[in-house]
Structure formats: structure tokens, C-alpha cells
Amino acid sequence: MEDLIDVCLGRVEADLVLECGALLNVFTGEILEDVLVAVKGGRIAYVGRKANLKAAETLKVKGLTVPGFIDAHTHIDLICTPTEQAGWMLAHGTTSIFTEPDELASVLGFRGLKIFVEEVRRLPLRVYVLIPLTTPQNPEVSTLNVMPLKAYREALKWPEVVGLGETVAWPMITSRKKYYMDKFRLALRVGKLIEGHTAGARNTKLAACVCSGVSSCHEAVDGEQALERLRLGLFLMIREGSLRRDLPQILPELLSRRVSLENAALVTDWVDPADLLEHGYMDYVVRRAIEYGVDPVRAIQMVTLNPARHFRLENLIGAVAPGRYADLVVLENLENPKVKLTLLGGRVVARDEIFLGKLREPRYPRYSLKTVRVHGKLRPEDFKLKPPVEGRVKAFVAKLESEAVTRKTLEEVEAVGGDVRLNGLSKIAVIDRHHGSGRIGLGLVRGFAEVGAVASTLNFDENQLVVVGCRNEDMARAANEAVKFGGGIVLVDGGEVLEALPMPVAGVISMVKLKEASEKLKRVNWKLREAGSRLRKPLNFLFFSTFTTLPELRFTDRGILDVKSGRYLNLFPPQT
């Protein structure tokens, strides 16, 4: 503090003085010309036009200087290591993220949470952590181990932890389930936030969620839902990422009504390696918002000051102002927010969208690399559906409406030889890989792809061994290959492994570079589309297949879950 005071008054040297051609003041919305920014010890001391400053180093920057971007809701504990992703995020102007390690925690519990926090503490990126409420999402339908309350009590004391993660099973709030209520009380007692996930909640139920302490929601999918959340005082997070692209459905409606966006942010909810390489990160999201009519200054406020205020960190991040971290981004101009320079703590870490640092690969404990436990080798017979009779039988089928949403349908299928003729359907199998119990839940899906099999041990937030396919032999091969790798994504057709991405860290993270992971994911998605899938990214269906709070049918190692009723269905209901 004293050093910052002395820099302002010319008593000591600043470590760095930036001579900015133009600077965006996010508090007032003004663009100021010929501004000096003095940095000392990683923090900003002075911001202004004229001052008698001393400087160890001076850097003249052209373009528009803005605060470092913030992603207020994302996930980085999947596909590639957080370390591998960090450099790419910084290269695209993002200096702070808010994230929860759902996948590591679902597989490894409190140990997974600790692994994640220990890794991100070493990163040049500022990573603020939320404790997952998905361990599991719903203990009444999941077979995952439950992370105990004492783990939450301890983690809430960690300095980088700002609260609880998204409330995916929000009906537990309206039914006052102890599973949620105890954790909420813990967090609120120590002044931490509760981040929301209130998909489908409206009117009285949404108000009840707000009463519980839920502070935000990123699940609005249209303008009306977004407006309802804003009116109730929820911090609105609008997604534009690899799983959801909600800007076109939300922004035009809010803009036409001239609604204030001061209590809203732009977020990603996860960007996969292919999109990160092809489009960028929060810089891309800002560009998209501008394309949909958001004033460029407002768009930048939605990824800087607004989220900083929501998380009560506006004294540290989200603005170029005295006392804040010297996290700055230099853009080409306001209309074209292409990142020319990224500074973190007053140090240049990226130039022209290239990360300049070198990060050491993380080392993971041995127990995190041996997490796929199945009951022996999978055989083709394990994937037979075993209908009750031969001939025409009725079966529940999950019809794919999108990568994330399924509809429950009842169809007639042909039972032959203890199995079913698929005729355009696909089988799905969820194999218990956490306990080695031998449990396999089986089901049918319409609208995927006519391919031998694709397997994945990454699926939100159960992370079981999921296999979708049309041939039992290929399904067994894909499953066994995934087990051999210690987890991963495997595509098999005609008995041949066409593509594989090993993910040995908890079965959800690979150790390959972002570019390699991107190419593998793109090839798998391309081959699935070539095999008839109409989905933009067919793999995303596997990732969402076990997400036990999304409508209407989900799949677990116990079978087919009817999400609305919370009950498991027989694949073949009583035949009438």
C-alpha cells in the first residue's frame, strides 16, 4: 500500500509505466486518450493523463487498453489440463476465471478438489474456485460417492474459494433437501456466494431459489427467462461456448426492451479445445455480443466490471484503476476487439494472441491415474438388450432433440435372438467404472449416428464409462480400449479403432497438447456426422447423457432415469 502511495506522489519508481494511446474507463464508459498507467508490485498505482512519475520501465502501447477479461462461469477440469488451457486463455485476453472442478471432484471427491486447487495456484491465470455441488448431482439417483459436509467446511476456508458451484439439482431447494440446505448455510455463514443453475425454474419456484441464497443463473435460454432472472435480482450470465450459444436468443430481446445490463455478464460455460483454437476465448464472446447489437463499451463491461462486482472482487479485478491488479489487455480498437497485448500483474504474458510464457506440465498423484475399475473385460453379450419376448415389443427410446435434451418416446421395436434390430436406433450403455460392481445400464437412442461404437469416460457429472453404438462387438471393443487407457474417448467401427484420446487423469483429463486434443475431437465429431448424426458436436451427447437433471431421459449404471419423476424405467415396459 505504501509503495503505491509513494509511486503516485513521485517518491519511488514505478516498475512500469504504460503510455496508453486510449483507455476505457469501465466505471464511466469513457474512452480517455493519452493516459498513463503506473504499476508497482503487480498492482496499479496511478491512472491519469499527467503526472510526474518515475519509472524503471516505460511501455508505449497503441490501440485501446481495457481491463483483463473475466469468464465468470466456466469449467477447465476436462479434456486438457488446466495448465495447458491457461496459456491459450491469457493469449486471448482473459486474466481471471471463475470455475468449479465438477469432473475431478465427481471421480476423486475431496482429493480431486485439492488436486485442482493445487494446480491452479501455480498458474499465471487468476483462478477463483467454486466448490462443486455435483458430487453427485443427486444422491437419490446416482451411485457416486458423496463428498461429505466436512470437506465443504474445510474448502470454504481456502483463499481462492469464493463460494458454492452451480445448483444443478435446484428442485432440492424447493423441497428443502438437507443435501443442499446444509451446504448453503455453511457458505452463507462465512459470507460466500451460491452460484445458481435454475434451468426451467420460473415464477414461485425461481423466487424460492433466490430466497435460498442463490445469487446468479447462467441457464436462461431466451429473452423472457433472462428478463425474469434480472427482475428477481439474480446476476444473469449469458452463455456463448461449446455447449450452449444463447446470445442470439437473449440479447436482441433485452436490447429491444432497453433493459439495463449492469447485472449481467457474458460467460462460456466451457470452451472445448477445437473452439478455443479456432475462435479464441472471451475476446470471441465479446465480438459475438457486439455482432448482436450490444454497445462495445457495454460488452467489455460485461466481461470485466460486472462479474468483478458480482463476486465482490471489484477492488482487485475488473477495472484499470488504482489499487487493482495490473491485469490489462490492449485491443486493436473498440469495434474490432482483437487482442494485441495481455498483461498480468504488470507483466506482458501474451502478444498478438501468442502466450509468451512457459508452463511446467503438472504432475498428478498415482491414485488419480488409476480410476477406471470395471468388473472384468466387457463382452459383446453385455450389450444385448434382452427383450421379454420375440417379435414386436414396445421400448422406451430417448429421442435426441439436441446435444443436451432428449424426449421420452415409446416405440415398437423388433426383438430377435435376445436382442433388438436397431433400424436407425442406437444402443447406449452406462458401465459402472467407479466401484467395479459390474452394473451396466442399457437403453435406446434415436438420432445419434449409425456407427459401430463410441465410448467416453467423460460425462457430466457422473463420469461413468458410456458407450453408444450399433454393434455389440464394437461397443465391447470401444469400452475395453477406454479401460486400457485408464479412461478416454474411443471411436470404433467394423472392429477397428478409428480414433482415441486417452484421458488417464481421473478418466476426464488427457496429457496431450491442446492442438492434438482439438484434432482428435474434431475427427471423432466429423466421423459421427458422416455416419448420419445431425448434431453440431455429436460427442456432446455422450457428455450430457448422464446429466441427471436435464430433460427428459438420462442414463446411469442403474438404467434409464425419467428425470421429471425421478424414477427409473424398465427399457421394455409391461407389454399390452
Q: What is the pLDDT of residue 335?
A: 87
What are the cell numbers at 508? 476426464
Residue 543, φ and ψ in degrees, nearest 5: -65, -35
11 in Cβ contact with 2 (< 8 Å): no
Closest CA to 310 of 483, 167, 96: 96
Instruction: For 250-264, write each residue's pLDDT tens digit.
Output: 999 999 999 999 999
SS3 413: strand
List CB contacts of 534: < 8 A, sequence separation 6 or more.
Answer: 447
Distance CA 63, CA 86 (A): 24
492 pairs with which residues across the strands?
453, 497
The neighbour count for residue 373, using CB atoms within 10 Å, is 13
Residue type, 232: L
The owner of cell 438420432 is: 447
Residues in the chain: 576
Domain ranges of the chain: 67-363, 368-569
In this structure, the strands spanning 58-67 and 69-74 are unpaired
Query: CA-CA distance, 443 to 445, in Å (whole number)?
Result: 7
- Those residues with Cβ within 8 angstroms of residue 473's Cβ, 6 or more apart along the chain or in another chain: 380, 452, 495
What is the distance between the alpha carbons of residues 76 and 128, in angstroms, rounded to a whole number? 12
- From 358, 333, 355, select the one nearest 342 (Cα to Cα): 355
* Distance separating alpha carbons of residues 242 and 540, to the nearest angstrom: 9
pTM > 0.95: yes or no: yes
Q: Where are the alpha helices (DSSP H) in 222-345?
A: 223-231, 247-256, 273-278, 282-291, 296-301, 305-310
Q: How far is C-alpha 9 from the chain's CA centre?
A: 44
118-145: average pLDDT: 96
- Answer for the pair 26, 67: CB distance below 8 angstroms, yes or no: yes
CB under 8 Å to 60, separation ≥6 — which residues?
18, 19
Q: What is the pLDDT of residue 280?
A: 98
C-beta atoms surrounding 121 within 10 Å = 12
| 1 has a pLDDT exceeding 90 | no
| pLDDT of 576 | 74
pLDDT digits 0-9 by tens, 460-507: 999 999 999 999 999 999 999 999 999 999 999 999 999 999 999 999
Asked whether the predicted pLDDT for residue 174 surpasses 90, the reply is: yes
Question: CA-to-CA distance for 196 and 269, rounded, in angstroms?
Answer: 13
In this predicted structure, the answer to whether residue 359 has a pLDDT above a threshold of 80 is yes
What's the average model confidence in pLDDT over 401-425?
97
CB neighbour burial string for 145-165, b if at least 16 within 10 angstroms, e if fewer: eebeeebbeebbeeeebbbbb
Looking at every residue in the chain, the average pLDDT score rounds to 98
Do 289 and 247 meet the contact criterion of CB atoms below 8 Å apart? yes
CA pair distance 424, 408, nearest whole angstrom: 17
pLDDT at 83: 99
**Domain 67-363 bears CATH identifier 3.20.20.140:** yes
> How many other β-carbons are positioned within 10 Å of the β-carbon of residue 445?
22
- The number of angstroms, rounded, from the C-alpha of 94 to the middle of its chain's C-alpha atoms is 15
258 neighbors 301 (Cβ within 8 angstroms): no
Residue 325: per-residue pLDDT: 99
Contact 96, 121 (CB under 8 A): no
Label residue 85 by pLDDT band (50, 70, 90): very high
Per-residue pLDDT band for 575 (boundaries 50, 70, 90) equals: confident
In the DSSP assignment, the letter for residue 510 is -
Q: Is the pLDDT of residue 554 over 80?
A: yes
